[in-house]
Structure 1
Amino acid sequence: MTETPALAAGIPVHHPRHGNGRVVVDMGATVVVRFGGAVEQVLASEISEIPSLYSALRAGTDTDPIDALIRAQALSIRSVNDQWGVFSRSRVQLLPHQLWVCRKVIQEWPFRWLVADDVGLGKTIECGLVLMPLIASGRVRRVLILAPAKLVPQWQFRLKDMFDIRLQRYVTQADTARGDFWATASMVAASFHTLRDDRRGARQRLLDADPWDLVIVDEAHHLSVDERAGETLAYSLVSELQERGKINSLLFFTGTPHRGKDYGFFGLMHLVQPDLFDPEHDPLKQLSQLSKVMIRNNKATVTDLQGQKLFKPVNVFSREYQYNNNETQFYRTLSEFVIDGRAYAATLEGRAQTARMLVLITLQKLAASSIAAIRNALRKRRTTLANLVGRSSESVSLPDEEQATFDDLAEAEEALPGSVAVLLMEDEIQRLDELIALADGIARETKIERLLQMIGEEFGPDEPILLFTEYKATQALIINALHRRFGFGSATFINGDERLDGLDQPSGSAKIVSQPREHAADAFITGRVRFLVSTEAGGEGIDLQERCAVLVHADMPWNPMRLHQRVGRLSRYGQTRPVSVYILRNPQTVEARIWDLLNAKLERIQAALSSVMEEQEDISQLVIGMAGSSLFNELFSGSEGLSGERLGAWFDRTTSTLGGRDVVETVRELLGSVSRFDFQQIGKDLPKVDLPDLERFFTQTVGRHGRRIFRRDDGLEIRTPDDWKARSYTLRDKYEGLVFDRSLRGANAASRVLGIGHPLFDIALDDAHGISARAASVDGLGGPVLILAVEDEVTGTGSLVHRLIFGVTEKDGKIEVLRDWELLQLMNAPAVKGALCAGPVTEDAEAVIERFKEAFDAGLSFHVPMLRRPRSWPEMLFLPSEAR
């Protein structure tokens, strides 16, 4: 009777009850096997050996070398993508910092991260890169993306357009007690503003729904908590989902995580990682933990794959104008009106005073935008007061800036003066009549005339220009002026409710025009219009850098954060020209003087921080976010009537905390504690492969099923192999126009790009992993190549990437280690192909394996620093055909 040879340590085996494992030691009648995290001693008769390199060598059977090459390619492809997401079929050029964010986030499972990248660095791309390998591996099946209401459609559109990830948008009409929306929806984009309220039971139905594999929150600073005011409804929604065990992994995005109060910041971080952060504990002791859960990259440091900086500094220019006599008289009279209104409000208390101050501040904001905007408000207010005097209400408010979008606030401000009947002074109606008469006497605004002059003199006739303003009345004024000067149809608009009143027509009439923001953006990007005039709605979620590099601030908002977001529409990856920003300002106005003082102060803060930071970074966004909107409202509204030295002294007192030691120290400590992309450290590890590197694998895999791929003008054409169709009902009989090209645009482009995530490519990858080939001889190799799989012996560590692939070869007598993407490049080399004559590998194959493995294991912890207790297993062996 022939004795069964002992099973070597590491050989993979299967047990009907314990599953797959690896041999620890063969004891004859029993075998000690590691099954995941457990070690069991089982009967030798109960286990069966899984095909492996060892079994292939023992059998000595011939292997189809093409099959072996295909399997090696598949192993490499999956290993690369599991770490970096680089083969996700996104339709955007992937950047090193985005790949790094993906790798950083998915190193562990479940994960908890807050990504606080600068505007324009591609958070949607980072999100898609994280999602794609998780979805492809089946680890993520239920995804919930929470965002402000007006960004939800953008998330749905972009993930479909760039990654073909299809989200179901949450709408209140679909969510009823009978409709059971959450029972059927598994990949959802929803507004946390919509779900935070439980008047219709929506919040409770979400809380009762099945757990989510991954919850993603955009603009996560809306999840705020205050020491005195408590939690916002959005914060409590996410908090309760966590407490109920409904969130497995969590990913936050926000450009301004710290809003000026440590309590609120660490309250947000408590949501991210409850065991590391607590707003009640000492902030300084918690900062050292930030690198474990918080990422921030900024435009000053991100690079392309060659290490070249991606972003150039933005060029800012001021263009001045002065009021004419009629405008000067109007603004002087309006200033007196505001000052008198403040004096009257000062005699009141409580809500009565607050209501009047809010209306006065709003009038100042509107006046700073345009006479058209303030005139509309004054007329509506005059009508309201005439009809409702004696029935006034002191309950006046605007949306909470923490919860509403900038456009929501602007629309509320335009409506506010005319919607409330509180008297600002005893003779207000008479004073309003005077102001309206002065405004009506101004036929053309100097600011608009200066704007048209600047465009005509400084730019060529085909230069596309993006213009920003806060209010729709000013937006209509600018578009009408552009149409008169440069032709009807030369300008279009974006605003919050996608409609604009008072647009002049060629016939001479005026009407309301409705237009989706996507249509307006497309018309501008494709060159059908030259000008795009946007309110703050265009400052979020729309990328315009492909064609435009000129931005004009037609008015200056009181909150500087809006300027940062505006510029972010153009200063982002894909911009091929230096961005030029133009500011229209009247140096005689108090707003212009406040802006001068504010900019000077921010420059001093920047200089102070730059002197103590290792990396150069524009910190204005963080500092402004920490200051809060109330400070800027006080700055601009409270300065009315001040000038010269009095204004400067008042400004210094009011902004004493802005850029004070607490702010500077907080920003420095915050930025010094987070994780960030550094090309010098990780550039060498970045995979230098992309979708085209998948083509050889795909064509060979299809070919082994007897199918030919035809190359047509629009891409590849293939009839799906029958056994693939039998395994997946989602596959079509025939595919046309398939490409390995991220730059594809046009109809159905997302479904034509091949990569991981496309059902046809995914089944090809699964099919290749099932190939039994383990050893082969091939032509074109300079020496033997051993492929090793590295796994973590310690389970339960949360490691998501638990299996990595490496190649080991020998060149000029020196052993070299190939990373997975380098191994794929080798397998793709034109010279490497199956040997013309099949035959067994050489008898010294085991000696090669042991020598290569020993050399690799000597530096094992260096090769796989993310694994706690790595162990390598020989997976495949290739020998040059001449070595047979």
Structure 2
Amino acid sequence: MLLPVVGAYVLHARSGEVGTVSGHEGERLTVTWGDGRSARVARHDVRCGLPVGQAVQEQPRSLRPSLGEGHVLELRTLGGREQALVEFWEGAERHWLPWENLLPVWSARSMVEAGVRPPGGFAERFRLRQLALALQHWNRTTGALAQVDIDPLPHQLHLVRRILQSGNLNWLIADDVGLGKTIEVGLLLSALRQQGLRRFLLVVPAGLTRQWQAELRTRFGLGQAVIYGRDFEISDPAQWPLYEVVIGSMDRFKHERHLDLLRQSGRWDMVVFDEAHRLSRSLYGLSYQTSERYHLAAMLRGLTENVLLLSGTPHQGNLDKFEALLELLRPGPVWRERIQQLRMEPQLLSGMVIRNRKADVTDAHGEFIFKGKVTHAVAAPQNEEEQDFDRALRRYLRHGYEASRRGRQSLAIGFVMTIYRKLAASSVAAIEGALERRLRRLQNRLREEAGVSEVGMESEESSPFVEREEEVTGGSTEFFSGETEMLQGLIALARRLRQHDTKLQAFTGTLLGSILRTNPQERVLIFTEYRSTQDYLVAALERLTPGRVDVIHGGQSLEERAASIERFESEGQFLVSTEAGGEGFNLQRRCHILVNYDLPWNPMRLVQRVGRLYRYGQQKPVVVFNLNVQGSLDDEILMQMYGRLEAVAEAMAGVADEYREGLREDIVGELASFLEIEEILAEAAAHTPQRTQARIEEALERARQAAQQQNDLLRFSSGFDPNALQGELPMGEQHLMAFVEGMFAHLGVTVSQKLYGGRVWEIKLTEPLQQQLGLKQNQRVAFDRSVSRTAKALLLDGGSRLLKLLFETAGEYAFGGQIAQAPLQGDGTASAVLRWQDDRGRSLSERYVVLQRQGQGVEVNPPDFSVWLLQPALDEPGEPGMKAEAWPQFEDKLHDLLARGASDELHPAGYDVTGVAWGPVRVTGPEGEVGSGGRLVRS
């Protein structure tokens, strides 16, 4: 028979006495009975003596780690063997275990009820135990320790906490551009990994796969994040379990061959869709028209219980499409019917959508983090040469558009004409190059390449189509009679223009001259749509500041783009980027000036350009300069359109007391997402400027109405509440440092020097720790990832073996500190972990709380306690000031917190008291309260 561990409670089968095992000799046990007698008894004469509710520690008989501490929920006998159902405090797991392996221990609560006096030194151990619990809870509920240099913002912590404490992991995150969606997802995935979830699939636009991989690897240490089709291929579905964190392009996955493989990939713990508004399903009459991307999402929905959708523009002015996204979060006929009643029941969104606005988010100190944006127009008047070229180009375009209204190639011709207009508005170099390619095509009579079929082509990892528009040449036959001669004349005029380019002169002379006179070292980000314009600008800037010009574009690898940005931020001055190159990169750390050398026809692209600088971390107001050529038809239309866009946004923002600078920018982004204006601009050549402007006004009004509808609906979403975290115990990196320093002192680790402003420590490990961790004696440890690389130090984040060991040591029963007599406020302090579960009994949410008794009330998470945790604690001498009869007040408060945290999807699962501390008895005297040690305490 299995022998019970020394210290186990046993029940004598005949006498009913309960005792404690104090030794073994063969099949006989030495037992100390309740009256103090010791006796030797046969193993078959004793049974399990554990009462329900007893705190226990599991003692494995092999080399595997212990399951930890918990309490007995139930007892049973199966096949003649007695077992105990134990709920363990770490992870809230429940297991039926042999009672012989369970060692009874004292819980903090039982010590208080039994009147146990804490031994000396327990105040410091109580502090370290509570720090360990609070920091690990902070990490589990926010993922903050996954990467301690992230410095998460309140709205990011709130978002992760909102999801984890909701009882449901299916959400649409509709944050504005620039609020850190990758950080939010990384924090959430890190927190979910703490809860045992492992398999994550991220479905993202093709151009962002490597960006997502870099973010997850460098910021969150998810080195196992791999890209499907780039880092690995699947030849046999049985290979899928080899990959835990997979990133894939939605346009690769939607193809039937990849879709078939994906169907066999098994269950995923969570599937994340970035740019989820691309998953479109529309209602036409009584039937749905489903895109291939939505079909992909619906298929993956069947492979996971948890879906996360990311989109800054989820509504898009189309309620059907928005409802289709919500149905991915809540599938099934019951929810479909509720979602279709969204206009009548918009409060549904509070449990499905989280939306944070730039205008609302703050830093940890409650200060708004966005400093505002100023836009200036820089106009270059046309000179005589430019007017000649403009007139000649308009003639060519007019002939082309006339040809596009007749004949077999009409669609292709009109498309090419529109591209030439965009190129002409970008730069003389862009249009000259395009005209030369067209002429060579006609002269060489090359094999006809795809003309209109070039439109909408989508390459997996190449730059978006906008960068490749200038490659489109159309067929190898003339669009209209005399086109070849007209092209030759246009090209000759364009070549002469390079010497008289007023737009370039306004840029390099007037604009940059003004900027550099103010600050000769000022860094400037320049955006253009086209590579030919980029090359043109780089050549001009190199003449101005040789060696200080960098580029990023869609043809570069991720590493090449990252290297260009690093050079720009360290020693460069000008960074010339195409939209494809700048997608996904954040440049706010060292730059606040943006020049739009050309203006995109799609207003959302301009918002995304500004978003490279106008985002969290920007310490200055963003200054935007828009260049245009006066007299150019398209330039003037674009400037008027953007001017009206800003004016409408300002009118919608209003000037009420709650108006903030960021609100206008939020609304500009919303309006831009609804503005479908490229068709109007494409047709502008055939209409009067007045008719074009009227159509733009109509489009703006439709966008305004759509934005208003979206706002009316999404105001029911969950969002950042600056007061939401006020009730939580404040935790931060300073608490991590305080914990590590305290544990080093406890374990005999010497801190010989603190470097890099205290973020890097040089330490000497003890010999036992060296052997346990497999490390040398002298080490450098860091609390910041960026500094850790520079200092070549071990990073103390959630993956650190050293930090894990410190947490484990502080959490061991033998470490002590479950109770303490310490100089804390109030009439007693108790800490506990509360837990909630779903309707299947799975643990979903937890909360670490500190309760402080103040007279007849109990305060939750007093801020003073968070401050107290930062310094080493001393024991408070004197008679214990808290008695067992005070405990019911704490218990009532814990049940009240469990009830308040419950919802339809979240049910109370229990609580564990992790520590209790109190001060000495205070005797009321004539001049105030006198502690038992004689110290006067003013009342």
TM-score norm. by structure 2 comes to: 0.80
Moved more, 32-41 or 777-786: 32-41
SS at match of 1:878: strand
Equivalent position of 1:716 in the other structure:
761
| SS of residue in 2 equivalent to 1:284 | coil
1:675 is matched with 718
Contact 2:107-2:818 within 8 A present in 1 as well: no
Shifted more, 788-797 versus 305-314: the winner is: 788-797
8 Å CA contact 2:579, 2:609 repeated in 1: yes
Check 1:337–1:602 CA distance in 2 against 1; reply closer, same or farther (3 A cut).
Answer: same
Match for residue 820 of structure 2? Answer: 777
Q: Aligned equivalents of 2:129 and 2:776: distance in 1?
A: 25
2:276 aligns to what? 220
* Aligned residues of 1:807 and 1:819 also touching (Cα < 8 A): yes
Spell out the pairing of 1:524-543 with structure 2 (5 A cutoff): 524-526=568-570, 528-543=571-586
State the secondary structure of the residue aligned to 1:584: strand
1:52 aligned residue (89, 98, 107): 107
- Whole-angstrom distance in 2 between the partners of 1:646 and 1:828: 68
Q: For 1:404 and 1:172, how far apart are their aligned partners in 2? A: 9
* Cα displacement (A) at 1:10: 5.2
SS at match of 1:431: helix
Q: CA 1:193/1:860 → structure 2, altered by over 3 Å: closer, same or farther?
A: closer
Report which stretch shifted further, 781-790 or 561-570: 781-790
The match for 2:209 among 145, 152, 162 is 152
The residue aligned with 1:559 is 602
Superposed, 1:641-656 pairs within 5 Å as: 642-652=687-697, 655=699
- 1:637-665 C-alpha deviation (Å, 9 max, x unpaired): 21115445344345445x2763364x144
After superposition, the C-alpha distances for 1:506-525 in whole angstroms (9 at most, x for unaligned) are: xxxxxxxx981111100111
Q: How does 1:294-443 map to 2 (within 5 A)?
A: 294-348=353-407, 352-388=409-445, 395-399=452-456, 407-417=463-473, 420-421=475-476, 423-443=478-498
User: Deviation of residue 860 (structure 1)?
Assistant: 5.9
In structure 2, the partner of 1:845 is 883
Q: Which residue of structure 2 aligns with residue 507 of structure 1?
A: none
Amino acid at match of 2:184: E
CA 148–820 in structure 1, closer or farther in 2 if over 3 Å, else same? farther
Contact 1:120 1:572 (8 Å CA) reproduced: yes
**Within 1, Cα distance between the matches of 2:16 and 2:818?**
26
The aligned residue for residue 737 of structure 2 is: 695
* Percent identical: 26
CA separation in 2, counterparts of 1:377 and 1:756? 54
Higher relative CO (Cα under 8 Å, sequence separation at least 6) belongs to: 1
Query: Any conservation in 2 of the 1:81–1:87 contact (CA below 8 Å)?
Result: yes
1:594 aligns with 2:633: no
Q: Alpha-carbon deviation of 1:39?
A: 12
The answer to whether the 8 Å contact 2:237/2:265 transfers is no
Deviation at 1:371, TM superposition (A): 1.3
Paired residue type of 1:429: T
Could you say which residue in structure 2 is the equivalent of 1:510?
none
Residue 495 of structure 1 corresponds to 553
1:333 to partner: Cα distance: 1.4
Q: Is residue 891 of structure 2 the alignment partner of residue 833 of structure 1?
A: no
Gapped regions of structure 2 (runs ≥ 5): 1-14, 19-33, 35-48, 60-66, 77-81, 921-930, 934-939
- Alpha carbons of structure 1 residues 803 and 648: separation in structure 2 relative to 1, 3 Å: closer
Alignment gaps of 5+ in structure 1: 500-513
CA distance in 2, matches of 1:565, 1:781: 51
CA distance in 1, matches of 2:98, 2:587: 67
* Counterparts of 2:342 and 2:902, CA distance in 1: 33
Judged with a 3 Å threshold, the aligned counterparts in structure 2 of structure 1 residues 213 and 703 are, in CA distance, closer, same or farther, namely: farther
CA–CA distance in structure 2, aligned partners of residues 160 and 720 of structure 1: 29
TM-score between both structures, scaled by the size of structure 1: 0.85
Letter in 2 for 1:845: K
> Of the candidates 914, 918, 927, which is equivalent to residue 879 of structure 1?
918
Whole-Å separation in 2 of the counterparts to 1:152 and 1:735: 40
Report the residue type matching 1:441 in the other structure: R
Q: Does the alignment pair 1:760 with 2:799?
A: no
The alpha-carbon deviation at position 140 of structure 1 amounts to 2.1
Q: Is the Cα contact below 8 Å between 1:407 and 1:536 reproduced in 2?
A: no
> Partners of 1:187 and 1:561 in 2: how far apart?
31
CA distance in 1, matches of 2:534, 2:212: 26
For residue 589 of structure 1, report the CA deviation from its aligned partner.
2.0
Distance 1:38 1:748 in 2: 40
Q: Given residue 495 of structure 2, which amino acid in structure 1 is its aligned partner?
A: D
State how far apart, in whole Å, the 2-side matches of 1:422 and 1:294 are. 53
- Measure, in 2, the Cα distance between the counterparts of 1:56 and 1:316: 67
Q: Is the 8 A contact 2:378 2:627 kept in 1?
A: yes
Q: Report the CA distance shift for 1:258/1:397 in structure 2 as closer, same or farther (over 3 A).
A: farther
1:115 matched residue in structure 2:
173
Q: Which amino acid aligns with 1:833?
A: L
Secondary structure of 1:516's match? helix
Q: Pick closer, same or farther for the CA change 1:821–1:284 going to 2, 3 Å.
A: same
* 2-structure distance, mates of 1:721, 1:277: 62
| Deviation (angstroms), 1:301 | 1.1
Letter in 2 for 1:443: R
Question: How far does residue 493 in structure 1 lie from its aligned partner after superposition?
Answer: 0.6
Secondary structure of 1:271's match? helix
Three-state SS of the structure 2 residue aligned to 1:442 is: helix
Structure 2 Cα separation of the partners of residues 43 and 390 of structure 1? 80
Of 299, 303, 306, the match for 1:240 = 299
Match of 1:622 among 670, 678, 689: 670
| Cα distance change, pair 476–858 in 1 and its aligned pair in 2 (3 A) | closer
Offset of residue 666 of structure 1: 2.2
Aligned-partner residue type, residue 128 of structure 1: G
Distance 1:705 1:38 in 2: 30
2:719 and 2:444 map into 1 onto residues whose CA distance is: 60
Structure 1 segment 460-475 matched on structure 2, within 5 A: 460-475=519-534
Which one-letter code corresponds to 1:589 in the other structure? Answer: S
2:330 to 262, 273, 276: 273
**In structure 2, what residue type is equivalent to 1:621?**
G
Letter of the 2:726 partner, please give it. Answer: K
Q: 1:738 to 1:669 in 2, by over 3 A?
A: same
Say whether the 8 Å CA contact 2:838–2:906 is kept in structure 1. no
Equivalent residue of 1:235, what SS? helix
Q: Give secondary structure in 2 for the equivalent of 1:640.
A: helix
Deviation at 1:375, TM superposition (A): 0.9
Q: Is the partner of 1:544 in helix, strand or coil? A: coil
Matched, 1:636 2:678: no
For 1:150, give the aligned amino acid: G
**Could you tell me which of 99, 102, 113 is aligned with 2:157?**
99
Please state how far the C-alpha of 1:91 moved relative to its aligned partner: 1.8
Q: C-alpha distance in 1, partners of 2:655/2:437?
A: 53
- Which residue of structure 2 aligns with residue 79 of structure 1? 137
Report SS of the residue matched to 2:702.
Answer: coil
SS across alignment from 2:589: coil
Give the corresponding residue for 1:523.
Answer: 567
Q: CA deviation at 1:130?
A: 1.4
Residues 49-89 of structure 1 deviation map (CA, whole Å, 9 limit, x = unaligned): 55422444549486561444332222222233333444443
Structure 1's 198 and 804: CA in aligned 2 closer, same or farther, altered over 3 A?
A: same
